Amino acid sequence: MASSGPEADAARAAFLATIAAPGHAVENARHAVAALDVAFASGILVRTAALDAMLADLSVALSQDEGQRLGGKSAEAARFILRAIGRELADA
């Protein structure tokens, strides 16, 4: 069952705005995931198995060693996964 109502719509819109914001894709992804975690924890959005899998993949893409530069494959993977999460959120 999809989350509905103005709070769910606002959470989806905020996610899409965050991933489209100027800035580095990896940093934007971290902010977007933090906001999703809040929305899931508060019940505004419903976490699905597909979202869990995508978020797990995104976590791997965003992991980096201290001092490692952001970018490259991590940024491209983050953009790809974030677009998929955005599509899935329409049904979450």
Asked whether residue 70 is domain-assigned, the answer is yes
* Total structural domains within the chain: 1
Q: In which domain, by residue range, is 15 found?
A: 6-89
**Whole-number pLDDT of residue 61:** 81
Q: Give CA 73 to chain center in angstroms.
A: 17
Question: Would 1 be classed as within a structural domain?
Answer: no
In 3D space, the residue among 34, 30, 51, 39 whose CA is nearest the CA of residue 10 turns out to be 39
What is the Cα–Cα distance from 10 to 23, expressed in whole angstroms? 21
- List pLDDT tens digits, range 3-45: 788 999 999 999 999 999 998 888 899 999 999 999 999 999 9
Q: What pTM was estimated for this model as a whole?
A: 0.82
pLDDT at residue 46 is higher than 60: yes
Could you read off the pLDDT of 56-91 as tens digits, one per residue? 999 888 876 555 665 567 788 888 999 999 999 987
Q: Domain for residue 77, yes or no?
A: yes
Instruction: Measure CA 63 to chain center.
Output: 14
